[in-house]
Amino acid sequence: MGIKTNRELLTHAKKEGYAIGAFNINNMEILQAIISAAEAEKSPVIIAVSEGAIQYAGLRYIVSMVRTASEEVSIPLSLHLDHGKDLEIIRKVMEGGFTSVMIDGSHLDFKENISITKKVVEMAKERGISVEGELGRLKGIEEKVAVSEREAFLTDPGEAEEFVEKTGVDALAVAIGTSHGAYKFKGEPKLDFDRLEAIAKRLEIPLVLHGASGVPQQVLEKAERFGAKLPGAKGIPDEAIQKAIALGICKINIDTDLRLSFIGAIREILMTKPEEFDPRKILGPGREAIRQTVQAKMRLFGSSGKAIRNSP
């Protein structure tokens, strides 16, 4: 099956009320883990690649690996640029075979964000590539933060409507209190679901949740048992993810949980088998740990079993 666009994948997800995981890759093992999880779960999947991942692995390596994967499996997948900021890189990935891009103008002011996002939509249109924009900044909601301060970084529903109208994006990433990485909240996890509901009421296009890793206790404990130091790490609870999907989130970005699973398994081998130096015996368990994590996410997101009906 060829590589699909996010537009194709997410239209189906929105119609049926589930979410598709966008999982970040940096190397072959991570890609293989995600693909084998998607096959086992019969789930559509979004392969997310950051500008940093492109710098690390090389654009042509990434595109050829993902093309190979798409030829070997029958599940629908897309190849998506995560947090694109550089117009030159965006142009290169479009020419190189990506089917979807994110333009992250969330650090810019509203007008500048609209202007750069519009440019990317223009570049994508002629190639049939989908575009995700982002409005609002990813930052955990602190207990003691004043409402006015929250308003300044979370996505405003009215602005979201204007942003989508003026830019023509296919999907919008919203800020409702999630953040990237393993340290999302100092106190109790808190997301602004009323805001998400208000945004979803105004918009027809699929909504995206970044910074959605759960930082599961058992994954954290394993990594720490074998020497990782991650004090205070905290993620988004599973129930919050389910609620976000029920309120209209159709694409969910996960990277941190893959990283934590990978390093837990690798640390275990390095610590328990110090005589081991075959990279396959070290990276292989890392790949297997990611596969299990991704399968669990697909079940949580409701995308398991959706691949068949989603096929042309």
Task: List residues binding ligand G3H (CB under 6 A).
Answer: 24, 50, 52-53, 82-83, 180, 255
Q: How far is the CB of 137 from Zn ion (least distance, A)?
A: 11
Q: How far is the CB of 240 from ligand 13P (least distance, A)?
A: 12
Cα 206 from Cα 226, distance rounded (Å): 40
Pairing type for strands 130-135 and 20-24 reads: unpaired
Binding flag, residue 210, Zn ion (CB under 5 A): yes
DSSP structure class, residue 230: -
Contact 37, 294 (CB under 8 A): yes
Pairing type for strands 77-84 and 249-254 reads: unpaired
Per CB under 6 A, the list member of 6, 256, 304, 310 interacting with ligand 13P is 256
Catalogue the active-site residues: 82
Cα 62 from Cα 205, distance rounded (Å): 28
Binding flag, residue 191, ligand 13P (CB under 6 A): no
- CB under 5 to 8 A by kind: which of ligand 13P, Zn ion, ligand G3H, none does 249 bind? none
- CB under 5 to 8 A by kind: which of Zn ion, ligand 13P, ligand G3H, none does 156 bind? none
DSSP structure class, residue 292: H
Binding flag, residue 139, Zn ion (CB under 5 A): no
Q: Is residue 114 exposed (0-12), middle (13-18) or buried (19+ Cβ within 10 Å)?
A: buried
Site string (14-33) toward ligand 13P, x via CB under 6 A = ----------x---------
Binding flag, residue 255, ligand 13P (CB under 6 A): yes
Binding flag, residue 181, ligand 13P (CB under 6 A): yes
Binding flag, residue 259, Zn ion (CB under 5 A): no
Residue whose C-beta lies closest to Zn ion? 210
Could you give the residue ranges of the DSSP H alpha helices within 82-216?
87-96, 110-125, 147-153, 157-167, 193-202
